[in-house]
Amino acid sequence: MPILILGVDVISQNPKRFAVVSWFNGKLEKKGEFTYYRLIRFVRAKRPHIVAMDNIYELGSDRDVMRFIKALSRGTKLVQVTGRPGEQRSLWNLARENGIRIGDKFDPYEEAKVCALLASKGVGQEIVAFEDEVIVKVVRGRSQGKGGWSQDRYRRRVHNLLQNKVREIEESLRRANIPFDLEVEERDYGISRGEFRVYASREELAGLIKPMRGGDVEVRVEPVERKNIEFVPLKGERAIRKRKNVIVGVDPGITVGIGVVDLDGRVVAVYSERNMAVSDIFRFISDVGHPIIIATDVTPAPGLVEKIARSFKASLFTPREDLRVEEKNELLRNLGIEVEDDHQRDALAAAYKAYLRLKPKLEHIDAKLRALGLSRQRNEIKALVIQGYNLGEAITKVTVKERPKEEPKPEVSESVDFTPYVEKIKELEKTIEMLEKENQELRALIHEQRSIIERLERKIGEYDDKVRERILRSKEIENRDKRIAYLEKELREAKGIIEKLSRDLVLTKRMHLLELRGSAIPLKVLDSLTWDELKRLERSTPLKKDDVIYILNPAGAGRSIAEYLIKKNIRAVVSARELPNLVYDALKEEKIPVLYEDDVEVKRVDEFAIVDREELEKAIEKRLHEWEEEEKERKVKEFLQIVEEYKIERLKELRGKAEKE
């Protein structure tokens, strides 16, 4: 029995207002008057098992009803207690039939109360708006911007994250043995988008697939709406009519193909439809006949085909290996039928292939039944043999079921002595009298126990309401505190960023002012002395003659980069660290000064840097002067070395002459 039921009835249409009465463990309580949107919020907060109405279109149009059902929490049913449209009965007649007392018929709260009580007794039709299918989309959570080297790396990273999330969901569904179809868009060694069509209800996926929002990857779980709202009885089942036994081939996918043949190999139906819902597939097959075998053209069978076979309790047929296109076309030529598309061809070929596998056994059964004169029941007997009965058991089962039962004829005796029967009747009357007294005593005891139970249930109901209210309040406070903590953290981070940007802005303005006055020279900043950084700099602000470059990390650079800078006729290089020898020597040869942070003071904000013009000029002049002095010293040393070598050679010559003389 449901724990909580809300009865709802309309008070006025313009503005739309509703009366709400709750039924909780046998206790009725008037909840008050609600607008449409307040009613939705109230229902979501209370999470009832059933929302009961006498007419769901009091909510509005089909769109309003659909919006209301979407807003319901998982597990909450919308019920129309008066029955499906066209077959509706009077609310008050239903109340009298179910022993419900009626007060003021014109009071909306009275109607809401009756709706809740009828729903508690299982009266009414549940409104079903969604298929037992769910679309799960795995997509990017953010726009990727306009490109660039870093942007390309970010895009590849996101596509890799999408691929991992798709694999994770796929693995979860396989472990849970839930059938599904998957479509992906591959990109950059990853996936740019993935879409699952899962053949299960939202309730089955609860806790298995968690929606995600706000990051690099988003997971969206969307139920599939039915084409039309359907009404399903709260209790009881529909009568099953006798249907023809058939073999059904199914080709699943975005476009579903269905092919049906009977047990004589004749084509019964062929159909295909794009985005066909699972419930529509079941309805189509049920309308055509009773499936004994569900067949597919590939092995192993797809998940949806297995689910259909389990639902109909039919045998599953798969070929020993996937059917080739040539074989499918040959099967259809043997049938002498043309189809509209490949999906119909694949489904019908699968069904006919299953029939051909059984054909020898079915022909043998036909021959036996003709000999026994049971050809009229051959369809049912064939179905039983396919389901696992042997031929004798199947024949017995069918013939015994059809044989009319003979009622035994009572034997009539000419003279009967009724004395023993009269005494037995008197004895039974005394027993009945004693049992009636005992029954009255037990009824009184039951009435007393019911009073105790009702009193205890009222206490439990009051306690449950208090506990429910306390839990909801604590959850709201907890969520609020978490939200406040999160916002305070974001505020602190934002204040820190604002303070840094303010300082940078002031410094940038000062630097720009110095540059405009001509007292400062801008520097072109390179994070590292590599070809990638040079290409980035050339794309944003190309190097030109007399530019000054500021290098943060020159490690690893070679002579080819130095020659490139020389060709650009730059004026000087300022480096935060010592330049590699190859680069330093190449620049020194071309008289391009190399300065360090000890030589000049660099003022920098992110990608923008300047240096004092006068200070730079002095540092350049000093460096060039040092290099000139070093060059002079080098030349003097070379000259002295040459003179020394000449002296040594001359002494050798003089010694040689002296020895000869």
pLDDT, one tens digit per residue, over 302-323 is 888 888 888 777 889 999 899 8
SS3 257: strand
Comparing 21 with 288, which gets the higher pLDDT?
21
The whole-angstrom separation of Cα 126 and Cα 81 is 8
- And the tokens for 7? 């009865």
Query: 133, 137, 304, 138: which is closest to 223 by C-alpha?
Result: 133
Q: Name the band, by pLDDT with cuts 50, 70 and 90, for residue 69.
A: confident
Q: What is the mean pLDDT of residues 481-489?
A: 89
| Alpha-carbon dihedral sign for residues 60, 61, 64, 66 | positive
Burial classification of residue 170, based on how many CB atoms lie within 10 Å of its CB (0-12 exposed, 13-18 middle, 19 or more buried):
middle
Check residue 80 and give its pLDDT.
93
Alpha-carbon Rg for the chain, nearest whole angstrom, is 45
Check residue 368 and give its pLDDT.
80
Check residue 243 and give its pLDDT.
64
Q: Name the band, by pLDDT with cuts 50, 70 and 90, for residue 37.
A: confident
Residue 150 has phi, psi (to 5 degrees) of -65, -35
Q: Which of 365-374, 421-430, 635-644 has the highest mean pLDDT?
A: 635-644
- Helices 342-372 and 391-402 pack at an angle, to 10 degrees, of 80
Q: Name the band, by pLDDT with cuts 50, 70 and 90, for residue 512.
A: low
User: Which residues touch 321 (CB under 8 Å, ≥6 apart)?
Assistant: 299
Check residue 434 and give its pLDDT.
77
Q: What is the mean pLDDT of residues 497-506?
A: 70
Burial classification of residue 257, based on how many CB atoms lie within 10 Å of its CB (0-12 exposed, 13-18 middle, 19 or more buried):
buried
Check residue 461 and give its pLDDT.
74
- Residue-wise DSSP of 479-542: HHHHHHHHHHHHHHHHHHHHHHHHHHHHHHHHHHHHHHHTSEEEEEEEEESSHHHHHHHHHHS-
Check residue 9 and give its pLDDT.
93
Q: Name the band, by pLDDT with cuts 50, 70 and 90, for residue 516.
A: low
Measured from the Cβ of residue 42, the count of other Cβ atoms closer than 10 Å reads: 17
Check residue 264 and give its pLDDT.
86
Query: Which residue's structure tokens are 């039915």?
Result: 226
Q: Name the band, by pLDDT with cuts 50, 70 and 90, for residue 151.
A: low
Given a cut of 90, whether residue 347 has pLDDT beyond it is: yes
User: Which residues touch 300 (CB under 8 Å, ≥6 apart)?
Assistant: 318
Q: Name the band, by pLDDT with cuts 50, 70 and 90, for residue 515.
A: low
Query: Which strand (E) or helix (H) includes residue 464?
Result: helix 419-517
Q: Name the band, by pLDDT with cuts 50, 70 and 90, for residue 471.
A: confident
Residue 398 has phi, psi (to 5 degrees) of -75, -45
Check residue 509 and give its pLDDT.
61
Residue 520 has phi, psi (to 5 degrees) of -135, 155
Check residue 249 and give its pLDDT.
95
Angle made by CA atoms 137, 231, 5, in degrees to the nearest 5: 90
The whole-angstrom separation of Cα 295 and Cα 259 is 9
CATH topology of domain 132-233: Alpha-Beta Plaits (3.30.70)
Check residue 189 and give its pLDDT.
67
Given a cut of 90, whether residue 351 has pLDDT beyond it is: yes
Check residue 414 and give its pLDDT.
40
Check residue 13 and give its pLDDT.
84
The 8-class DSSP code of residue 374 comes to -
Do 261 and 115 form a contact (C-beta atoms < 8 A)?
no
The whole-angstrom separation of Cα 429 and Cα 425 is 6
- Helices (H) and strands (E) in the chain — how many of each? 17, 20
Angle made by CA atoms 48, 49, 54, in degrees to the nearest 5: 90
Mean pLDDT, rounded, of the chain: 82
Check residue 111 and give its pLDDT.
92
- Residue-wise DSSP of 547-609: -EEEEEE-TT--HHHHHHHHHTT--EEEESSPPPHHHHHHHHHTT--EEETTTS-EEEETTEE
Check residue 511 and give its pLDDT.
55
Q: What is the mean pLDDT of residues 445-465?
A: 81
Pick left, alpha or beta for residue 313 (phi over 0 → left; psi -120 to 50 → alpha; otherwise beta).
left
User: Which residues touch 3 (CB under 8 Å, ≥6 apart)?
Assistant: 24, 25, 49
* CA-to-CA separations, 59 to 35, 55, 223, 402, 655, in angstroms, rounded: 11, 8, 22, 52, 128
* CA-to-CA separations, 303 to 199, 222, 250, 251, 315, in angstroms, rounded: 9, 20, 11, 11, 14
The whole-angstrom separation of Cα 441 and Cα 434 is 11
Given a cut of 50, whether residue 416 has pLDDT beyond it is: no
CATH number of 4-123: 3.30.420
Among 83-92, 146-155, 430-439, name the one with the lowest average pLDDT.
Answer: 146-155
The whole-angstrom separation of Cα 652 and Cα 109 is 133
Query: Which residue's structure tokens are 């691929």?
Result: 163
SS3 190: strand
Given a cut of 90, whether residue 258 has pLDDT beyond it is: yes
- And the tokens for 184? 């992906």
Query: Which residue's structure tokens are 């004589």?
Result: 264
SS3 223: strand
User: Which residues touch 640 (CB under 8 Å, ≥6 apart)?
Assistant: none
Among 168-182, 346-360, 363-377, name the one with the lowest average pLDDT.
Answer: 363-377
Q: Name the band, by pLDDT with cuts 50, 70 and 90, for residue 187.
A: confident
Do 319 and 346 form a contact (C-beta atoms < 8 A)?
no
Q: Name the band, by pLDDT with cuts 50, 70 and 90, for residue 143.
A: low
Query: Which residue's structure tokens are 């190999």?
Result: 265
386-411 pLDDT, tens digit per residue, is: 877 777 777 777 776 554 444 444 44
| CA dihedral of 344, 345, 350, 353, whole degrees rounded to 10 | 140
The 8-class DSSP code of residue 212 comes to B
Angle made by CA atoms 63, 66, 67, in degrees to the nearest 5: 85
Check residue 504 and give its pLDDT.
55
The whole-angstrom separation of Cα 498 and Cα 492 is 10
pLDDT > 70 in the chain, percent: 89
Residue 470 has phi, psi (to 5 degrees) of -65, -40
SS3 79: strand
Check residue 409 and give its pLDDT.
41
Q: Name the band, by pLDDT with cuts 50, 70 and 90, for residue 479.
A: confident
pTM: 0.39
Among 228-232, 293-297, 362-366, 565-569, name the one with the lowest average pLDDT.
Answer: 228-232
Domain 245-378 architecture: 2-Layer Sandwich (3.30)
Query: 16, 81, 85: which is closest to 54 by C-alpha?
Result: 81
Q: 257 forms bridges with which residues in the sheet?
A: 251, 272
